[in-house]
A and B are shown apart, each in its own frame.
Chain A
């Protein structure tokens, strides 16, 4: 069986006057139907750029320079923009943007905004589009009668639900959610996560959740990719990532999660992520890594298979290398 979405060696660079920023630098992963993938990284790790790349929406001076994004056997990077706009974007892959609370047009009714997205892609009249908008609102837990409300009449959580409804308007196969709950309170966050779980179960929706919060990802993802400085450093099934993290960076992230009832002694990862215009040679994590060895400074580690579809890019996994 081929995967619904396969990303191979994707590279997205930003060409600035002060050099090119390699925001996404050789990322590969697959996503099955109904699967939830979590992409976790610090700010500046390239995770949001990755999300935009999947929709071919990288803002200039950024450009996808290499790789392929294969959706149902077709490389969408090879398609003309016109076809992507009509057939792929929003219809097959849609996105819930990070600043969802500002993503709605304040002077337009919620229903009209959702209807616009429907009418842009399908040959339906306004009345039918509005009916579908009301249905969509209902499916995300908003009273369909509020289809004529303006965004300011909605609370933060409701706006977020409306943005999710909009992302679902054309029944896409994949929804990319970029920090969908950062601006929301925990109670509302839990409600939104429940909504994602429901959509997955009922509609077989595939979800890519992009966030810096490992706890949030654990609530939904089957598979987790840890990004650092434009690369995936570890990828594997959630159970493995959370119980047996392999990469020192992932271990550091895990140790830094505050847990209620957990240890009061917190760990953290010293230093900050590198400047992607000029990433360090060898392994990009070596300046912050407590286990850095000579080879890490010189050579970039390949992916090592650590079992059960779990891979990690770290020299520590190479046999014969002393772990001291």
Chain B
């Protein structure tokens, strides 16, 4: 199971891939736990294989606590995986630098895929320019004491743009790109003078100002009013075309995912349980967890208001401190069988580029990717 290196090398459209990625966090222990040599480990990401296609929008969907934000931070390189590796296909320029620095790589048809965790120093700094992130909270992620100009200039200063005039031009260009126009009007404002939507535009401007190739957007619209979400999503799609970006889009909202994403990865307790093209996932979900998530989405139709809406799964996502054995979803699954309690299901290929990790799909082809 998992991604085979040969598979990866035969593809020319992959910009980033995670191979057996695990991210564990150790928690503080009590005295008795230390004496008993017990460890308390949160398995936030627990064996993820993921492929990000260049120029596409790949979604990570799941409930809170499923590890989607941790995986996002791993992709940006804000964490180094406990196990496994994340490989990235950089620009030609960076490719040379990484090669010179002796960073390990995998060859693929599309170019060299470098192990991000091994980059250090200048190579790492250059890597950070190419992969950026937009955070969820438009209120908390901008320094309230900095003007918009300062906020957008900071990454430029860090990355060595010495000419003040050039920096200002880049800031203005970025503001125009996110449609905060006229830019002069926004340069010297503070975040509190902007609406939530405008702040999120500043966040996006900050993420794109260094000209990244891959942008991770962590719930970029979940804190915004429904009435302006579409505007931000549209802006992000326009930017993607104009600047040749690839997105990893993290959301808990399948309705939002249906609009912006090309591929959806459904995550549960640190694993991807189903992966596929957006329409396949939403219209022909195979994994019981995905089916439940879709059933739970409220629909803007008042006819069903007296009906109790059956959501087939019970309870809530368990703690990542104690992951159930076998299939990690089995305690909540309406179809759980004996086998699910013991054996972790592999991925079964249930359609074109559509994988599901559920024993119900056994008999379909076991997937290689």
Contact = CB atoms under 8 A, between A and B. Distances in A.
B316 A214 contact: no
A188 interface: yes
Size band of the B side of the interface?
35 or more
A117 interface: no
A218 interface: yes
A187 B292 contact: yes
A120 interface: no
Size band of the A side of the interface?
35 or more
B196 interface: yes
Given A214-B300, A258-B259, A193 B309 contact: yes
Interface stretch (A60-68, A73-81, A268-276): A268-276
Contact of B305 (A219, A266, A268): A219
A259 interface: yes
Nearest to B63: A185
Contacts of A242: 300-302
A94 B292 CA distance: 32
Contacts of B302: 218, 221-222, 238-239, 241-242
A256 B309 contact: no
Nearest to A45: B225
Interface in A200-245: 201, 212-216, 218-222, 238-239, 241-242
Contact of A258 (B225, B231, B255, B301): B255
B283 interface: yes
Given A197-B306, A256-B227, A213 B298 contact: yes
B301 A218 contact: yes
Interface in B156-198: 195-198
A295 interface: no
A285 to B, nearest CB: 12
Interface in B281-320: 282-283, 292-309, 311, 313, 316-317
Given A238-B302, A264-B258, 11 more contacts: A42-B227, A186-B63, A215-B298, A221-B302, A256-B227, A257-B226, A258-B230, A258-B253, A260-B258, A266-B234, A268-B229
18 contacts: A42-B227, A43-B196, A156-B316, A186-B296, A187-B293, A187-B296, A187-B313, A188-B63, A193-B298, A193-B309, A194-B308, A212-B226, A218-B300, A219-B304, A238-B302, A258-B229, A264-B259, A272-B198
Interface of A: 36, 42-43, 155-158, 185-191, 193-194, 197-198, 201, 212-216, 218-222, 238-239, 241-242, 252-254, 256-262, 264, 266-270, 272
